[in-house]
Amino acid sequence: MENIKLGNFEELVLLLVGVLYEKAYSVNIVDEYEKQTGKKINISAIHTVLYRLEEKGFLESKLSESTGERGGKRKRLFYLTPYASRALDELASLREQLRYQIPKQALTWKEG
């Protein structure tokens, strides 16, 4: 397995971009994040991560068409790259594998 450099939060954002497919832009991602995790986050954090992920090749982006919304200012929409999809799969399966390798005894505790 090649060395995938993807932080925890970065992975979460990648997943959210995937979930929001075609509607994934920063403000929506903030909303979705707050809805899914119940935690607050500042938009600047999301922006930073999105641009970093794009730099790393996990995301690609394009500007949307200009519409009447937002005073005609365009949004930047993000899409997963094949590399991201592979990375997400690998990370997910790695986690799953590890989860099932934990012996049952390690997860049982005596009362008291």
Partner 1 sequence: MSFDRLHNPPKLALRIFRWYCRPERVEELEGDLEEVFFRRLKNGGSAWQAKGFFWWNIFRCYKSYARTKTQNNSIMTSLFKSYFKLALRHSWKNKWSVLINVTGLGIALSMCVFMYTLYAYNFEFDDFYQDTDDLYRIHAMTFENGQERRNETMPIALEDKLRNEIAGIEAVSSYFARNVNIKKGNEFFTEYAGIASTDLVDMFEMPLSYGSYEGFGERPLIYLEKPLAEKLFGDEVALGKELTVYFGDAEKVEVTVGGVLDKIPLNTSFGFNLLMNQRDYLQAMDMDPNDWSNKRYEGQYLRLNANRVEQVAKEINKYVKLQNEGHEERKIAGFEVVPFITKLNADDIMYRKYGNGRLRPQVYIIFTVLISMIFLTACFNLANTSMALIAKRLKEIGIRKTLGSGSKQILLQFLFEMGIISFLAFIIALLTANTTSGMIMGLFGANFLLQDANLTGIILFVLGFLLFTTFVAGLLPALYAWRFQPISIIRKSVKLKGVNWLNKILTIAQYSFSIAVLAAGITFSQNSDFLKNLDLGYTDESVFDLDLGSSEYYVQMKQEIEQIPGVVTAGTQNHLGNFGRYSSQKTLEIDTATHDVRHYTIGPGYLDLIELEILSGRGFIEESEAEEKESILVTKSFGDAYFDGNDPLHQIVKIGGERKTIVGVVSDIIDDVYEDSELTPTVFALTRKAELRHLIVKAQGANLSEIEDRLKLVWSQNIDKPYDGVLQEDLALGDAGRDTKNLQKIFVAMAILGGFLSIVGIFSLAKLNVAKKIKEISVRKVLGASIKGLFYTINRSFVIVLLLSMIVGCSLGYFISDAVLGIIYKYYVDVSAVTIAISGLFILIISLMAITGAVAAPANANPVKGLREE
Binding site for partner 1 (CB under 8 A): 25-27, 30, 42-44, 47-48, 51, 63, 68-71, 73-76
Judged by beta carbon, residue 39 or residue 99, the one nearer partner 1 is: 39
Instruction: Give the separation between CA 99 and CA 112, rounded to whole angstroms.
Output: 26
Rounded least distance, CB 76 to partner 1, Å: 4
Check if the beta carbon of residue 95 is closer than 8 Å to that of residue 32. Answer: no
**Tokens linked to 96:** 């799953």
The residue type at 6: L
Rounded least distance, CB 60 to partner 1, Å: 15
What stretch of H or E contains 80?
Answer: strand 76-80
Judged by beta carbon, residue 56 or residue 76, the one nearer partner 1 is: 76
